Amino acid sequence: AIQLTQSPSSLSASVGDRVTIFCRASQDIRSELAWYQQKPGMAPNLLISDASTLEGGVPSRFSGSGSGTDFSLTISSLQPEDFATYYCQQFDNFPLTFGGGTKVEIK
């Protein structure tokens, strides 16, 4: 199975900060990567597919980049509603796998 390693596992940041989360795959997954946001007690929400394609309705302060084994999710200016846990997920092949998550907390 393809392993996804997210870093950091948690971070503290202030409103307005630029934040970058990393996701490394154990093998080449081309651009078959998605990013999700999950708030406490809620289901995950798809933010980005195909490594860099923003979902409709997702604010433009979110962006994704990368291909192959190294990927990143950037929030250009952190807003209060962005404090949540973020997961990457590969869909290059089965079994589908997720990264361990990155919790973004308020500093």
Partner 1 sequence: QVQLVESGGGVVHPGGSLTLSCAASGFTFGYYAMHWVRQAPGKGLEWVAFMRFDGSDRKYADSVKGRFTISRDNSKNTLYLQLSGLRVEDTAVYYCAKDRHWHFDVWGRGTPVTVSS
Per-residue x/- marks for partner 1, 51-90, CB under 8 A? ----x-------------------------------x-x-
Regarding 37 and contact with partner 1 (CB under 8 A), the answer is no
SS3 call for 71: strand
The Cα 68–Cα 75 span in angstroms is: 21
> What is the CA 86 to chain-centroid distance, rounded?
5
- Minimum gap (Å) between residue 43 Cβ and partner 1: 4
Per-residue x/- marks for partner 1, 3-22, CB under 8 A? --------------------
- Minimum gap (Å) between residue 96 Cβ and partner 1: 4
Least Cα distance to 67 among 51, 54, 53, 55 occurs for 51
Least Cα distance to 101 among 12, 20, 21 occurs for 21
SS3 call for 82: helix
Q: Could you list the residues that contact partner 1 (CB under 8 A)?
A: 1, 32, 34, 36, 38, 42-46, 49, 55, 87, 89, 91, 94-101
